[in-house]
Amino acid sequence: MYYLFILLAIFYGYNHIHFFLNKLLIFMGYKITVFDIEKLPSKLIIIGSHTTIYDFFIGLLFYYVYLHKRYSTYVFMKKSFEIICNPIMMFLDKKFKLISVNNDKKKEGLTTKICNTLKNEDNYIIFISPEGTRKCTENIRSGYWYIAKNLNIDIMYLGIDYSLKTIVMEEYRKPFETLDEEKEYFIKYCKKYTPLFPERCFWTKDYYSQKI
């Protein structure tokens, strides 16, 4: 899917690719619920569950169909995958920006670095998976919450349901006052949508493990 996207981008250019990518999502069987894009805030953090690399590709298609015209996008990505994706995407589209995430001590200052970089920017989206991994984890990371509070950015959950074949933009909102409230919200909305691998989510893994 990634290489098909690249070929379409090269052949048609980004001014026209949204039409073909929209047809691709429809061909894949997805029904999409979106807000009036023009009424969305100028800065937005989009969060969602992440159990498979297909979450990234479907999110990428969604971005180029509905959001690319108005927003630049920042995507958190591990260094190992960034080596493949970043040179191509950055060459083809200046609006697409990757933020490298490493499993080392340098990560501690990542949120501060992002806040300093974006404090004077406008018309952008940050895509983040609070789980931080496609493996099953109970460690919901807090970086997006700190960024949203420091930069006064709204947060929106993007639900991808692989069972019902739906993509839904939940209502955007301000970050909660406490991190515990924020985590409860994230898990609440994760439970609304069936991921491709439910056994990789700690809130459903026991149920699906028993079925297997």
DSSP of 10-54: HHH-TTTHHHHHHHHHHHTT-EEE---GGGS-SEEEEE---SSHH
Distance in angstroms (rounded) separating the CA atoms of residues 59 and 42: 19
Mean pLDDT of the chain: 81
Q: Which two tokens stand for residue 106?
A: 């340098």
CA–CA distance, 79 with 211 (Å, rounded to integer): 35
For the domain bounded by 2-211, which CATH number is listed?
3.40.1130
Confidence at residue 17, expressed as pLDDT on a 0 to 100 scale: 66
Q: Does 51 score more than 70 pLDDT?
A: yes
| pLDDT tens per residue across span 123-146 | 999 999 898 888 888 888 899 999
pLDDT at 212 over 50: no
Domain ranges, ordered by start, for the chain: 2-211
For residues 57 and 4, the model is more confident at: 57
Task: Say what the pLDDT of residue 15 is.
Answer: 55
Residue 81 in tokens: 């995958």
Q: Quick check: 7 pLDDT over 60?
A: no
* Mean pLDDT calculated for residue range 2-9: 51
Burial 78-109 (b: 16+ CB within 10 A, else e): eeeebeebbebbeebbebbbbbebeeeeeeee
For residue 102, pLDDT beyond 70: no
Binning pLDDT at 50, 70 and 90, where does residue 167 land?
Answer: very high
Identify the band that residue 57 occupies on the pLDDT scale cut at 50, 70 and 90: confident
pLDDT of residue 10: 45
| pLDDT of 82 above 50 | no
Instruction: Tell me what percent of the residues of the chain surpass a pLDDT of 90.
Output: 42
Position 23 pLDDT exceeds 50: yes
pLDDT of residue 91: 55
174-179 long-range CB contacts below 8 Å, 24 or more apart?
Answer: 174/148, 175/145, 175/148, 175/149, 176/145, 179/142, 179/145
Q: Is the pTM of this model over 0.85?
A: no
Q: Which of 168, 171, 163, 154 is nearest to 204 (CA)?
A: 163
| pLDDT value, residue 67 | 93
Q: Which of 50, 46, 57, 47 is nearest to 201 (CA)?
A: 50
3 state SS of 191: coil
**Is residue 205 over pLDDT 70?**
no
With a cut of 60, say whether residue 79 has pLDDT above it: no
- State how beta strands 166-169 and 154-161 pair: antiparallel
Q: Report which of residues 103 and 54 the model is more confident about.
A: 54
> Which stretch of 111-120, 123-132, 176-185, 194-203 has the lowest confidence by average pLDDT?
194-203
